Amino acid sequence: MNDNARMMIDQLGETTIPSIGNALHELKDRRAYLQYLIRKKEKSIAKAPEGYLIVQKAGRGESLQYYRVTYDERNRRRRTYISKRKDLPLIQALAQKDYDRKVLEAANLELAAIDGLLTHIPKNSAENIYALLDLQRALLVHPDVEPTDVFIAKWQGKEYDGNPYPIQKKHYTARGEIVRSKSEVEIANFLFFHGIPYRYEHPLKLRDGHQTVTYYPDFIIMDPVTRNVILLEHLGRMDDPEYVEEQVRKRRVYEENGFFEGENIIYTWETGSQPLTRVQLERKLGHYLHLGLEPWRS
């Protein structure tokens, strides 16, 4: 871990835990995808042409020959030559069918392995033991890992001095905060109603070349599953050239300090004629924050 990463963790209170809870989250997400993939491949195979494809070299040359193998009602094998020039779509369909069958087999094996693993994972993980103690015993011990609700409450309840720059026009969020724009209200309310802990304009010290600067990201989000910290910057005046120039410079500083889009920082943006919509917000935040809104779930 480099010095920049340590500084970020110290400032933001990030604690990444290699816990059963995190593993379960990933396993269940993978399981849902495999179930989708299995349904997709079963439908594709059902619509595919009868038989399977054989590809072999023609004599000693490099050219290939293609054959379709089928079986009659007496289960007798029949091999038919396919001309690539005349029947390329059939060759491709049979090749796709073979690929789909292999994917289906692999997906079923992986799904069975995940299901087997899930049945053997204990109900109570090591870090959950503290939450099961009665109050008298809990007061006597120091837990290795605080329960998630306690940890998040402490993180979200931390007092800090926000951005000193005056707010010209006040906008109120569902949590009662004052923010700078209607779009920030939409973002704050989305996070609040989806149970995502956040801090508004929390100070963040970053290195800019040989000097230290203080930024105030619009939102700092705590992933309630992994406890990882994610920054969210809303770029609200993308039709203003000077503003865009400043945001490009700011993004360079973020990257210098290890914040990269899609990993630990999210950007939303808008212009005067193209405002941020709730649909766009739900699509982007739903994807990055793993809220179960992935398109393959439908």
User: pLDDT per residue over 56-107, tens digit each?
Assistant: 988 777 789 999 999 988 889 999 999 999 999 999 999 999 999 999 999 9
How much is the pLDDT for 15?
54
**Mean pLDDT taken over the chain:** 88
How much is the pLDDT for 296?
42
Q: What is the pTM of this model?
A: 0.63
Paired with 67 in beta bridges are 54, 81
Question: What contacts 108, CB < 8 A, 6 or more positions away?
Answer: 38
How much is the pLDDT for 254?
95
Q: Which residue has the higher pLDDT, 60 or 121?
A: 121
Dihedral, CA atoms, 213, 186, 176, 178, nearest 10 degrees? Answer: 40
Label the pairing between strands 229-235 and 265-269. Answer: parallel
Q: What is the 3-state secondary structure (H, E, C) of 44-110?
A: HHHHCCCCEEEEEECCCCCCEEEEEEEECCCCCEEEEEECHHHHHHHHHHHHHHHHHHHHHHHHHHH
pLDDT above 60 for 276: yes
pLDDT above 90 for 295: no
Q: Which residue has the higher pLDDT, 149 or 204?
A: 204
215 to 170, 198, 225, 264: CA distances (angstroms): 21, 16, 26, 16
How much is the pLDDT for 127?
74
Task: State the average pLDDT over residues 208-214.
Answer: 92
Task: State the average pLDDT over residues 136-142.
Answer: 88
